[in-house]
Structure formats: C-alpha cells, structure tokens
Chains A and B, each alone.
Chain A
Amino acid sequence: MARIANRTTALTALAVAGALALSACGGGGGSPAAKGEDKPVDSLKFYNDKGGWKEAFVQVGAASKKDIGVGMEPVGYSDSNAYTAFVRSSFRTKEKADLFSWHTGKELEDLVDQKLVAETTDQWTKAVADGNIPEQLKQYFTFDGKQYCVPLNAGYWVMYYNKAVFKKAGITATPKTWTELLAVADKVKAAGVKPFYQTNILFSFVWFETLLAGKDPDLYDALAAGKAKYTDPGVVEVMNDWKKMLDAGLFSDPGSKTEPQAQLKSGDVAMINFGTWFSGNLNTLKMKAGTDYDFFVIPNVNPALPKTSMIFETGPVCSAAQSDHASTVTKWTDWWVTPQAQTAWANSRGDLSFNPKAEVKDPGLATLNKDVGGDGYRLINRWFEATPVPVATKALEVFGAFVTKPGDPMPGLQKIQDEADKYWAKQK
C-alpha cells in the first residue's frame, strides 16, 4: 500500500509539474531572452498574407543574400483573416516575427498602441533624405510623430483594359473624361461584352471609391475621418450614380466565381479597375503588357476638379518590437528601400515600387510612376485602409447586396452610418 501511495504521489507531482511547465509556455515570458537579445542571423523569415507572391519574394530573398549576406525566406498565407489572427496571436508568444506584412490605418495603429512593432523613425529620416521613400508616404506610417515599419509596396488604382476587346468595339483612343469613359462603355456593350468588372465580395467597394473620389474627394476624406456621414446627400448622389450604371447593364455578374484576371483575359469583361499590382496577376496568365492589355488613368467624374483623384495604396513590412534579431532586421530593411532592392522587387512581379529611383521595366508603369509624382494628381488613400475595420466590414456587406440587387441606397447607407456612429463614439 505504501508503495502504491508513493507511486501515486510521484505521479501526481509529475502531472502537476507537467501542467506548470505547459502553463509557463503560454505566459508572456519574463526571461532576458524574451526581451529581445540581439542575435544576428543569415536569413530572416518574412510572414505575409500574399501567398501568391511567393516566387517574387524568393527572388528578392536571393537578391538580398547576394547584396548584403542576409537572405529572406517568405512564409505566405493565402487567407488574409487566418493571417491576421496568426500575427495577432503570435504577439502572445515568445516567438516574435522578424518581418511581417500588415495594413496601414487602424490595423497598424492597433499594434503601435500596444507597443508591439519596432520603431523605424531613424530609417525613415535617412530614406527620405536619400530620396528612397517619397515624403508623402510618411503620413501612413506615422503615429505620435514617430514612424513604424517601412513600405512593402505602393500602387495606384487605374483602369486595365483588354486591347482586343477595345479593337473589336472600334475604340481607338483611351478616354480622358468621364463622359468619354461612359461612351467607351456603351461601345463595348454594343459589341456584346460587359464593360466593367465588379464583385459582391471584398472588392465590392471599388466603384463606390472611384465614384466618390472622382466626384468629391473632400467628402471622401471627411467620410474616412468620421467627419461626414454615409447618409449625406453627396454620398447618396454617388450611390444613385452607381445605380444608374448598374441599371444600364455596364457591369459584369457580381457573383461570378471566375477570377478577374481570367475574365479580362477571356474578354468576358473589357475593363477592370484595380491597383497596379494587377499587372503581376495578368503577367502570370501570360498576358503581355502593351500588347494584350494596357491601362489608363481613370478620369474624374466631376470635370471641374483641379486635380485628378488617384487612389493610392501602400502596405507596410513591419518587425515585432523586441525581435531577437533586431540588428539583422534593420540591416535588411535598410537594404529593402534601396533602388537596387526595389528594382529587383518591382520587376520580379512586373509591378511598381514606392522608390522613384527603381528602374521599372514596364514602360506604362514607369511613366505612371513618374506622372503621378507631378502636380496634376491628388493622392487619395484607398478606401479599404482609410475606413475603420468595423465600418468597412458593414459597408462591404451593404455594397455586396447593392451590386447584386440595386435599389434604394438609403437603408444600406443608414446601416453603415449606424456602424460608423458606434465606432466613432468609442474613439472620442
């Protein structure tokens, strides 16, 4: 009996010790190692939600290994929600991500507020002084006067079009005004092709964004900042303009499961309003820029506006505060913003770069990059980043329902505004 009792005690002690050890694994970690001891390494893992860009990241990783002796190994997620949950939960563990992609706006602010991302003010100061990052990008990465993360990419939203479809419809010149754009759409429709692409999930905001930014960019900015309402007459007017276009049959089936690039390639739709990263998607389908497809700047809806509204997006590449490999991360991100790194990056996917000195091979993109830096454009933060997450999610539901079954926009706009009221009330 005594032996059994002893064995029981021993087993119980073992179980308790095991449980304690396991519970310790979930803690925040108070050991010096968890506080960011710097251990230089040869390669960094780059967690990202751009699983489809793996090939381009691998090429860039090889380039960095060659240039500075530090490689980069992408760990790509294809599902953005799963990725976001992974990154958020990773901050509760001792494994701090050396490099990870994220979003600007409220998503980045959340991490900064909790002091979870490494500050990059010094790197920004140098990169702006060297002309490697345009000054105007700084605002998207600045919180309380300090910078966090560096840009991963930059893109402008333009209208891609299928050249063969335009030719078939007898269109010889790209539109320079909104009236011309609608005339082009009518010609395409007459040729039996749906003029514009649309969807009722995720990118359902695109046409709302385009119409509002092209009609009243001040209202657009005010709406993003919670200083205007989704029920304001200007917004209602934009929704009604959108409805007129929907009723006129200018859009593709919003419920289609076929990828937009495939729809453009097959000629099922003539035009797609997307960021310049879409060139990479088209290139992977073996479509050739300038031959099979091209793009043009979307003209303002309101011709009286002094500047052309250009939707702009940028995403950050961040490092967790207290990364164990802080010096290597700094070395790599310093390299990342240089012209040679950005030339490698831009051409790996056939995309633009945030660095104006990068040598972009695609002549159309290179010209756009140069032009947009001039005075004729007003850069407008993409709606997805500019709008707080709960408001954007509600709005995406409303826009999705609206493009599927266009009707009176007011009930939907009221729903979005109710969500916006809830959100902004919490911020004050």
Chain B
Amino acid sequence: MTSTVQSPVRRTSKPQWPVRNAQGARTGSRVAPLFGLPATGIVALLLYLPFLWTTYISFTEYNGLGSPIWVGLTNYKAMFSDPDLVGALTNTLLWVVGMVTLPVVLGLLVAVLTYGHRWGTWLRLPFLLPYAISGVAVGVIWGFVLQPDGALGQALGFFGLPGASTGWLQAGPGNTLMMIVAVTWQAAGVNALLFVVGLQSIPAEPLEAARLDGAEGFRLFRYHLWPQLRPITTVVIGLSIVGSLKTFDVVWVMTQGGPGTSSETLALSMYKETFVLNDYGQGAAIALFLSLVTFAASVLYLRYQLADGDTR
C-alpha cells in the first residue's frame, strides 16, 4: 500500500469555481445551483411575478374587482396628458435636484469641517441623530413646525422677523422646497458619515506631501480631497437620486400632496390612483414608469461614474 501525499492546494487570489476533486472531476457543479432555488423562488414569487403582473395591469382598465380589460397604451397616454401628473413629475424632478444638492453639500461640509477635529465625533452627532427618526416622524415634526401658527412662525414672530404668518406648506413649489429642507435635516447626517468613511480611506502620505507643498484650506480640498472622495460621492449621489425619485412618506404625512395637487410626487400619484381612485391600471402605469425612470437613472449614473473611474 502506498500512500500518496497530495500537494496542498495552492491558494490563489480568486476563488476556484467549480471545485474539482482529486480526479479532476467537477463536484457540486450540478447540485450547488439547486441551493439557490429556494431564494430564487422566493424572489421570483415576491418580486418578479408582481412586477410582471403590474406590467400587465398597466395596459388594462381594472378597479381591483372582476377582470382587467385590455386598453393598450391608454393609461400611458392619460399619464402624459394629465396636467396633475405632469405637475407630479415636475415636483419629483425638483426633489431629485434638491436632494442631490442640499443634503449632499451639507453632509460634505459637515464631514470635511469636522474630520480630524479633536471634537469631530461630537460635532457630527447632532447632524447624525435625526437619521434615527423615521420619515413619517420627520413629516409629523416638520408639519408642526411649518404650519401657519407653527414653531417656525412663532419663532419668527418672537424675534420680530417677517414671515411669521407665512403658509409654508400652502402653495407650490414653496411647499415642496420646504419639505426638501425637512428631509435635508434628516439625510445630511448620514451623508456626512459616508463622507467621513471616504475621508478615512484616503492615504495620509499624499496629503502630508500636499501640505508640505503648501496646500491648505480650500486648495487642499479642491485638488486633493475632493478627487479622492469620488467613489463615496458616487454612492451618496446615487442613493440620493434613487431615494428622491420614490419620495412618498414625508409628503404624504405633511401635505398629502396638496393643497390641491401642488406638492404631489409620482409615488404619491401612484398611491392615489391605485388606492384612492381604485384605478389600478393607471396606478400600475405610473408605477412602471417610475420604476423605469429610477432604474435608468441609476444605471446611467453609475455606468457613467464607474466607467469614468475605471479609465483613471
């Protein structure tokens, strides 16, 4: 009997797949994918099938009872000819612009100004705490702040400043802008945290070299920090775009899309058409349109950013 001593498997940087046994036969290659079946089944059942069903419903007239009636592109035509839905689309775009500027810029400022500071963690804390609050709670709190005799009005009145009796939420597009401010209050902190993580990943040596060369303040930020923060900025802006396209909770709590439809977003229109008007077909059309816009925006943005990064 001879014993064969097998040479240890050489570790490589990439995992070997499929795994081969001593005879070189592939093992597990047929069985392993089966382990993914339950998860695939659940995702298909809970995500892909409803998506396909929603797509089908968007081409029908359906009130949730009985059978859907095929109407082709009618719901899509109605969507783009209804001035209220066009208004909702405009408001949604306003949210995208607002959310990729205000919370991102504020988060970046907080991160850069506090990074490396002795009390940095404590200085960032007040910005980070609101993130622990749910969107609905943010809506409730800011609803009380912004109502005509609310906290903001009373504070302005107390200091004798103008605007004490302004109806902050009572006319568009001002109401949408005020709600963006409310969400900025909540979102800036987590953006700051992400930017701090980005700052921590920057190697110290090039920065020291830059400082030795006399780079300080804004010059240091513009030519050294900002370029190296690019990966994390991509993530922060990408998340902001996706989050703002599906804005619903804060608007629903603060104005329910009103007065009239002045602060309605596409997500709110989708909810209203489906669950208030029971027009499931129209609601599904908006849902599909919103999904496609979100998907396209995410893919285009990330492809652009990541492709650009790869060429560096």
Residues of A near any B CB (own CB < 8 A): 4-5, 7-8, 11, 15, 18-19, 22, 81-82, 84-85, 88-89, 91, 110-111, 113-114, 116, 200-201, 253-257, 389-390, 393, 397-398, 400-401, 403-405, 412
- Chain A residues with CB under 8 Å of B147's CB are 253, 255-257
In the bound complex, CA of A84 to CA of B167 (Å):
32
**Contact of A111 with B65 in the complex, beta carbons under 8 Å:** yes
Name which residue of chain B comes closest to A426, CB basis.
Answer: B61
B278 within 8 A of A: yes
Interface residues of B in 14-60 (CB under 8 A from A): 30-31, 34, 37, 41, 45
Which of B90-98, B238-246, B253-261, B285-293 binds A? Answer: B253-261
- Chain B residues with CB under 8 Å of A11's CB are 34, 37
**Contact of B31 with A8 in the complex, beta carbons under 8 Å:** yes
- Chain A residues with CB under 8 Å of B120's CB are none
**Contact of B258 with A397 in the complex, beta carbons under 8 Å:** yes
**Contact of A255 with B275 in the complex, beta carbons under 8 Å:** no
Name which residue of chain B comes closest to A82, CB basis.
Answer: B275
In the bound complex, CA of A4 to CA of B32 (Å):
11
- Chain B residues with CB under 8 Å of A4's CB are 30-31
Q: Is the contact region of chain B dominated by helix, strand, or loop, or is it mixed? A: loop
Name which residue of chain B comes closest to A91, CB basis.
Answer: B65
**Contact of A88 with B171 in the complex, beta carbons under 8 Å:** no
**Contact of A398 with B260 in the complex, beta carbons under 8 Å:** yes
**Contact of B65 with A389 in the complex, beta carbons under 8 Å:** no
In the bound complex, CA of A403 to CA of B279 (Å):
27
In the bound complex, CA of A110 to CA of B280 (Å):
14
**Contact of A201 with B41 in the complex, beta carbons under 8 Å:** no
- Chain B residues with CB under 8 Å of A82's CB are 275
Name which residue of chain B comes closest to A422, CB basis.
Answer: B78
- Chain A residues with CB under 8 Å of B275's CB are 81-82, 84-85
**Contact of A389 with B277 in the complex, beta carbons under 8 Å:** yes
B63 within 8 A of A: yes
B262 within 8 A of A: yes
Interface residues of B in 138-191 (CB under 8 A from A): 140, 143-144, 147-149, 167, 169-171
| New A-B pairs, 11, CB < 8 Å, besides A253-B147, A257-B143 | A5-B30, A8-B31, A11-B34, A91-B65, A200-B258, A200-B259, A254-B259, A255-B147, A397-B258, A403-B259, A405-B259
In the bound complex, CA of A412 to CA of B41 (Å):
49
In the bound complex, CA of A401 to CA of B102 (Å):
28
7 CB contacts below 8 A, A to B, read A91-B65, A253-B147, A253-B149, A256-B149, A389-B277, A400-B258, A404-B170
What is the 8 Å Cβ interface bit string for chain B, positions 257-275, against chain A (1 contact, 0 not)?
0111110000000011011
B116 within 8 A of A: no
In the bound complex, CA of A253 to CA of B165 (Å):
11
Distance of A150 from chain B, by nearest CB (Å): 21
- Chain B residues with CB under 8 Å of A200's CB are 170, 258-259
**Contact of B37 with A15 in the complex, beta carbons under 8 Å:** yes
Interface size for B (C-beta < 8 A) is 35
**Contact of B169 with A255 in the complex, beta carbons under 8 Å:** yes
**Contact of B277 with A404 in the complex, beta carbons under 8 Å:** no
B209 within 8 A of A: no
**Contact of A255 with B148 in the complex, beta carbons under 8 Å:** yes
- Chain B residues with CB under 8 Å of A254's CB are 259
**Count of inter-chain pairs, beta carbons less than 8 A:** 91
**Contact of A22 with B30 in the complex, beta carbons under 8 Å:** no
**Contact of A110 with B262 in the complex, beta carbons under 8 Å:** no
Name which residue of chain A comes closest to B64, CB basis.
Answer: A88
Distance of A109 from chain B, by nearest CB (Å): 11
Q: Which 10 A-B pairs have the closest CB atoms?
A: A401-B260, A404-B259, A88-B64, A81-B275, A401-B259, A400-B259, A400-B258, A397-B260, A114-B65, A404-B170
- Chain A residues with CB under 8 Å of B45's CB are 22
Name which residue of chain B comes closest to A81, CB basis.
Answer: B275
- Chain B residues with CB under 8 Å of A404's CB are 167, 170-171, 258-260
Interface residues of B in 58-101 (CB under 8 A from A): 63-66, 84
In the bound complex, CA of A249 to CA of B262 (Å):
23
**Contact of A393 with B65 in the complex, beta carbons under 8 Å:** no
Q: A253-B149, A393-B272 given as contacts; is B260 within 8 A of A116 (CB)?
A: no
In the bound complex, CA of A81 to CA of B270 (Å):
13
In the bound complex, CA of A254 to CA of B277 (Å):
23
- Chain B residues with CB under 8 Å of A19's CB are 41
- Chain B residues with CB under 8 Å of A255's CB are 147-148, 167, 169-170, 259
**Contact of A110 with B167 in the complex, beta carbons under 8 Å:** no
**Contact of A401 with B37 in the complex, beta carbons under 8 Å:** no
B276 within 8 A of A: yes
**Contact of A201 with B37 in the complex, beta carbons under 8 Å:** no
In the bound complex, CA of A292 to CA of B184 (Å):
44
Q: A11-B37, A82-B275, A389-B278 given as contacts; is B258 within 8 A of A401 (CB)?
A: yes
- Chain B residues with CB under 8 Å of A113's CB are 66
Distance of A314 from chain B, by nearest CB (Å): 21
In the bound complex, CA of A253 to CA of B274 (Å):
30
In the bound complex, CA of A397 to CA of B262 (Å):
9
Name which residue of chain B comes closest to A256, CB basis.
Answer: B147
Distance of A391 from chain B, by nearest CB (Å): 10
Distance of A219 from chain B, by nearest CB (Å): 24
- Chain A residues with CB under 8 Å of B279's CB are 390
- Chain B residues with CB under 8 Å of A91's CB are 65
Q: A11-B34, A18-B41, A88-B64 given as contacts; is B171 within 8 A of A253 (CB)?
A: no
- Chain B residues with CB under 8 Å of A398's CB are 260
**Contact of A85 with B64 in the complex, beta carbons under 8 Å:** yes
**Contact of A114 with B66 in the complex, beta carbons under 8 Å:** yes
**Contact of B277 with A393 in the complex, beta carbons under 8 Å:** yes
- Chain B residues with CB under 8 Å of A389's CB are 276-278
In the bound complex, CA of A393 to CA of B273 (Å):
10
The one of A18, A397, A403 in contact with B261, judged by C-beta atoms closer than 8 angstroms, is A397
- Chain A residues with CB under 8 Å of B143's CB are 257
- Chain B residues with CB under 8 Å of A8's CB are 30-31, 34
**Contact of A401 with B66 in the complex, beta carbons under 8 Å:** no
Name which residue of chain A comes closest to B264, CB basis.
Answer: A397
- Chain A residues with CB under 8 Å of B84's CB are 397
Distance of B152 from chain A, by nearest CB (Å): 13
- Chain B residues with CB under 8 Å of A89's CB are 64
In the bound complex, CA of A386 to CA of B87 (Å):
29
- Chain B residues with CB under 8 Å of A412's CB are 260
In the bound complex, CA of A398 to CA of B261 (Å):
8
**Contact of A88 with B65 in the complex, beta carbons under 8 Å:** yes
Distance of B236 from chain A, by nearest CB (Å): 32
In the bound complex, CA of A7 to CA of B31 (Å):
8
**Contact of B262 with A253 in the complex, beta carbons under 8 Å:** no
In the bound complex, CA of A114 to CA of B65 (Å):
7
Q: A11-B37, A253-B147, A257-B144 given as contacts; is B65 within 8 A of A405 (CB)?
A: no
- Chain B residues with CB under 8 Å of A403's CB are 259
